[in-house]
Structure 1
């Protein structure tokens, strides 16, 4: 069905669709801030709307409920995080081990530099509902694939074909992050990366 002329009308240089997309981004940024400060379970739609500077009417224009917003904000965090990791891998010199070390360094730097996003990624996403758990599982699978591809000489993920082993390594990398964050980032970054690197090298049989 063709869109209506009203839907396509531009306001101050922006179409209705562009303004809706902008409001959605405002809600995502606000959710990451509010969930990072208060926790998802303590946050309300009203609190997110206030942080976004928008009304609840606009909230329900983009999201059916808070759970849907949590998934969307989590996915936004993951897109940013994977973008940082891919960039670090592409810019790293040396072989697979050096690329993996650069990737892990970028991972922990991103968590340290964006503590609110880190809380959404590591804490608030867990155990909310089956739908949210599914989003988490998909991201963990993607993370495991990225680690395996980075450590593979051919970049094809052949460093570990065992999905259980990949899952164990990803879980270890994340638990290192949780321990580091809970300590107030007390250990130097290179020590944290070194610990995670030893876990990842299991995928190469070392």
Structure 2
């Protein structure tokens, strides 16, 4: 099937066609989170199994998606959007805090957002890998957004005199890799630490990047 079927219009059961379509889409994504993020995983799931889990038909599936890869792409974006929203809300509440405290707020929000549900971690760090060039491009694009956020925080710290001035492009890229790797390993049970200890370690890594040995903030 190469395209979506035409969606009916008009009201039914007191809801518009757009509302019914949004509800169907949500049900498919909820089912995909359970199946892709748990058992049997993305590669072991069929359209029929996903439709059954959603309580909908395969015909309705193809009204919303071209195939399972489209579902995985939408779910990956949704999981990242949840984490990004949590971080931005936390940063807004941390305005004016010292650098170390602000960094702790940032990573605590991100860590709790992505580890709250182990299925989200699997979608973000496991199931998305190696599916197709399109999904790899999407994954790297979303990672670039996190890199840009770290760079913006670093540049703001430099402007306040709280961090050493330099180009943080490569450092932010390496740091995001460390963040994702550590959180994945922690969620898999390979790191013997609490989530707060993981966050504290990430804060130390960030401060070491922003404030290298020998550098001191300018006198106020």
Q: Which runs of 5+ in 1 are unaligned?
A: 1-5
The Cα offsets for residues 108-154 of structure 1, whole Å up to 9 and x where unpaired, read as 11233211111101111111110000110011000111122234436
Q: Structure 1 residue 100: deviation in Å?
A: 1.9
Distance in 2 between residues matched to 1:15 and 1:80, nearest whole Å = 27
Other-structure match for 1:119? 122
Q: Map of 1:40-51 to 2, 5 A cutoff?
A: 40-51=42-53
The 8 Å contact of residues 77 and 117 in structure 1, kept in 2 or not, is answered as yes
Asked whether 1:102 is paired with 2:105, we answer: yes
Distance in 2 between residues matched to 1:118 and 1:150, nearest whole Å = 24
Other-structure match for 1:29? 30
Q: Structure 1 residue 184: deviation in Å?
A: 6.5
Other-structure match for 2:144? 141
Q: Structure 1 residue 90: deviation in Å?
A: 1.3
Other-structure match for 2:188? 182
TM-score by length of 2: 0.82
Distance in 2 between residues matched to 1:45 and 1:202, nearest whole Å = 48
Other-structure match for 2:11? 10
**Runs of 4+ with deviation above 6 angstroms:** none
Q: Structure 1 residue 9: deviation in Å?
A: 1.2
Q: Map of 1:47-196 to 2, 5 A cutoff?
A: 47-92=49-94, 94-153=97-156, 161-183=167-189, 186-196=192-202
The 8 Å contact of residues 96 and 150 in structure 1, kept in 2 or not, is answered as no
Give 3-state SS (helix, strand or coil) of 1:183's partner: coil
The Cα offsets for residues 91-119 of structure 1, whole Å up to 9 and x where unpaired, read as 22513432221111111112332111111
Structure 1 residues 52 and 146, CA gap change in structure 2 (3 angstroms): same
- Larger helix proportion, structure 1 or 2? 1
Distance in 1 between residues matched to 2:84 and 2:14, nearest whole Å = 32
Structure 1 residues 57 and 155, CA gap change in structure 2 (3 angstroms): farther
TM-score by length of 1: 0.87
- Structure whose alpha-carbon radius of gyration is higher: 2
The 8 Å contact of residues 85 and 106 in structure 1, kept in 2 or not, is answered as yes
The Cα offsets for residues 6-32 of structure 1, whole Å up to 9 and x where unpaired, read as 954111221112211211111111111
Distance in 2 between residues matched to 1:139 and 1:191, nearest whole Å = 26
**Count of residues in Structure 1 that have an aligned counterpart in Structure 2:** 200
Distance in 2 between residues matched to 1:155 and 1:110, nearest whole Å = 27
Q: Which runs of 5+ in 2 are unaligned?
A: 1-6, 213-220
The 8 Å contact of residues 37 and 122 in structure 2, kept in 1 or not, is answered as yes
Q: CA RMSD in A?
A: 2.3
Q: Structure 1 residue 205: deviation in Å?
A: 4.4
